Structure 1
Amino acid sequence: MTSSAHQKILSPEEIAVRAGEQQTFLHLPEPGVFAERALRLRALAEGHAMRDFLGFVAELADAQHRALSKNVAVPLPTPEQIEAAARSGRPLLPAPTWQRAPVWRESLRALLLDLARHLPAGPAKATALHLAEAPDEHLETQAGRLLSGVMLGLDLAAAPLVAAALQLHFVRLVQQTAAAHAGAALPPFGRIDDPTLCPCCGSRPVASVERLGAEGARYLACGLCATQWHYVRIKCTHCQSTKGISLQSLVASDDAGATTTGAVVQAECCSECGHYLKLMHPARDNGVEPLADDLATLTLDLLVSGEGDGGGLERHGVNLLLLFGEPEEAPPPGRGH
């Protein structure tokens, strides 16, 4: 049994001062990012209404992990590009406009064939094999729509698969760029003018997390490259207001009707701009993984977006593995060169 619960938050300025400059600003994606995601997805899938979908995404994350372990080289930004990004206050690898090398499509096809080998016969396997044969133009069009937020014409069945390959590509870009410029006088990644966007690829966060070992400091988690960056608590991740912030959660109750506390995932809501982003608490469950826990708490999205005047709040974050749009009129043709 669930019910909604609101928690009003006070004194954001005091928390901001405390969080401040003492925190590590960036946490780049670790080599095991996809393996940890797969593990969490399987744990969350047990007894879940979305068990089949979460299990599928777990298989997809496993395939991403196997691909990432192969250390495929990707073309990296030049020192001149790093300097230009730093001067302009913009992310070094802006996802919608960064020129994707052909290696991302090669990796996509390899990822799909590997995934298909681990899937039972059915629609998911058929979609993976079909997409592996799609022409380059179709793959680039779908990737462009995903990264620019254009839902019209998005191939809904294939979108999670294309997104998985883009996640793999941008994690590689971030990891290899950081390694190539380790110790450089001008680091490749740092603060940008818009603190609500990923400093590495400019994407919106999938969720925010109070990191363990960081004294409760809040970090935004990129849904594309898996980078986490520090962002002051009790501050809207859309309009950056510190007014009208509240937390909402699904509160479970026991058989006697007593309310249990300590929700692992909450929605941080802003009445100033009408947006929200999920906030996750690893201290309450140290298995939390932003993208996985976001997928598993879709009920919270439905609750928050369905309440209030004007149809409720609008989600600020984006999860590339769970998108909705207008489907294409026909499936893509087979691969041709």
Structure 2
Amino acid sequence: MTSTTTTSQKLLSPEEIAVRAGEQLTFLHLPDAGVFAARAVRLRQLAEGHAMRDFLLFAAELADAQHRALKAGVAVPLPTAEQVEAAASAGLPLLPAETWPRAAVWRESLRSMLQDLTAHLPEGPARSTVRQLADASDEHLETQAGRLLTGVMFGLDMAAAPLLAAGLQLHWVRLAQQTAAAHTGGQLAPFGRIDDPTVCPCCASRPVASVERLGADGARYLACGLCATQWHYVRIKCSHCQSTKGISLQNLVAADAAAAETQPAVQAECCSECGHYLKLMHPARDNGIEPVADDLATLTLDLLVSEEGQQRHGVNLLLLFGEPEDAPPPPGRGH
């Protein structure tokens, strides 16, 4: 249990921190085959005694369905060597979520995943929403996906948004994995550093959180909420405006004395220069941390930091905030 207050922690300046030589660090960590399985395990762990228990358990079932779909080994259309070279030359992400053509396979995989998910859910509103989306027309799925990926809340079906997001996550994880495998050994690596270090170098999405990776001497990586790629980003630096000034950490204050002596595993890194924050996660303090799952489970931290005037920089596609205005029921296929 936590109280509804925060504490501030002042940090050393970047100049006072010995930054490891960049070339000695692995810049990019692509999602592995167990990315969704690990998320499901963590969600169930976090759900115990949590105020959002039902939603976290539903998200765990959704992650399990994503894992089973990923194991199916469905192939997706991949970028050509010319496209790899063009993106690298321009310093741009290769697979930008807003503009990369979505092949029909993403819709087929989404429907298959939803049908699988239905078998693991009890009768109720969630199962009805899953069935309804599975029967939606191609046009509806594409319209909703476009809104979701561009951050347009108007007209977005908020109830179905986590399901759509799961299908898009599945598709972009496949794209990242299969592109890396197909172009390994070529003249240019398909993914690398880009001109804008605040967005994913694979799909140009904003991070869901940042993580101090184990085995990397505490180096900080930003974690993509879409394709699950993690990329190195210097510590004590705003992930929104890139300022190194006015950075502080905000914590939830534990309600009991024993817990208060323990360093929090999830904090909010706040920037007074631009007024944005991103969660910082410490696996060394809790080895089970998974960025998407732990972000969902620390919604209270978002609410409290927001009350202090900070705006969220990170995006969790499974839990969006906005007005679900004028979102009609999805038309069925053939309508």
How high is the TM-score relative to the length of structure 1?
A: 0.96
User: Structure 2 counterpart of 1:180, which letter?
Assistant: A
What secondary structure does 2:107 align onto? helix
Aligned to 2:331: 333
- Cα distance between partner residues in 2 of 1:333 and 1:85: 37
Aligned to 2:304: 303
2:287 counterpart of 1:286: yes
Q: 1:260 Cα shift? A: 2.4
2:305 counterpart of 1:313: no
Segments of structure 1 that go 5 or more residues without pairing to the other structure are none
1:159-170 aligned at under 5 Å gives the runs 159-170=161-172
- Cα distance between partner residues in 1 of 2:39 and 2:174: 16
Aligned to 2:55: 53
Aligned to 1:211: 213
1:219-243 superposed Cα distances (whole Å, 9 cap, x missing partner): 0000000000000000000000000
- Cα distance between partner residues in 1 of 2:21 and 2:299: 29
Q: Is the 8 A contact 2:156 2:327 kept in 1?
A: no
User: Structure 1 counterpart of 2:301, which letter?
Assistant: L
Q: Is the 8 A contact 1:208 1:220 kept in 2?
A: yes
1:104-115 aligned at under 5 Å gives the runs 104-115=106-117
1:27-60 superposed Cα distances (whole Å, 9 cap, x missing partner): 0000000000000000000000000000000000
2:24 counterpart of 1:22: yes
1:119-138 superposed Cα distances (whole Å, 9 cap, x missing partner): 00000100000111111011
What secondary structure does 2:20 align onto? helix
Q: 1:190 Cα shift? A: 0.3
User: Structure 1 counterpart of 2:215, which letter?
Assistant: G
Q: 1:257 Cα shift? A: 8.3
Percent of paired sites with the same residue: 79
Aligned to 1:133: 135
User: Structure 2 counterpart of 1:101, which letter?
Assistant: A
For the structure 1 residues 119 and 167, does the alpha-carbon distance in structure 2 shift closer, same or farther, using more than 3 Å as the test?
same
Aligned to 1:228: 230
Q: Is the 8 A contact 1:19 1:232 kept in 2?
A: no
2:175 to 169, 173, 182: 173
2:118 counterpart of 1:120: no
Aligned to 2:91: 89
Q: 1:14 Cα shift? A: 3.6
Aligned to 2:145: 143
What secondary structure does 1:248 align onto? strand
Q: Is the 8 A contact 1:19 1:217 kept in 2?
A: no
Q: 1:329 Cα shift? A: 4.3
Q: 1:258 Cα shift? A: 7.9
Q: 1:183 Cα shift? A: 1.7
- Cα distance between partner residues in 1 of 2:148 and 2:327: 18
1:178-231 superposed Cα distances (whole Å, 9 cap, x missing partner): 001112221000000000000000000000000000000000000000000000
User: Structure 2 counterpart of 1:52, which letter?
Assistant: D
Q: Is the 8 A contact 1:153 1:325 kept in 2?
A: no
- Cα distance between partner residues in 1 of 2:303 and 2:285: 23
What secondary structure does 2:82 align onto? helix
What secondary structure does 1:21 align onto? helix
Q: 1:166 Cα shift? A: 0.1
- Cα distance between partner residues in 2 of 1:257 and 1:67: 42
User: Which deviates further from its counterpart, 324-333 or 127-136?
Assistant: 324-333
- Cα distance between partner residues in 2 of 1:14 and 1:199: 28
User: Structure 2 counterpart of 1:326, which letter?
Assistant: E
How high is the TM-score relative to the length of structure 2?
A: 0.97
Q: 1:295 Cα shift? A: 0.1
For the structure 1 residues 258 and 102, does the alpha-carbon distance in structure 2 shift closer, same or farther, using more than 3 Å as the test?
closer
Q: Is the 8 A contact 1:42 1:58 kept in 2?
A: yes
- Cα distance between partner residues in 2 of 1:39 and 1:257: 26
Q: 1:259 Cα shift? A: 3.0
- Cα distance between partner residues in 1 of 2:334 and 2:68: 27
What secondary structure does 1:303 align onto? helix
How many residues were matched structurally?
Answer: 332
- Cα distance between partner residues in 2 of 1:237 and 1:19: 20
What secondary structure does 2:235 align onto? coil
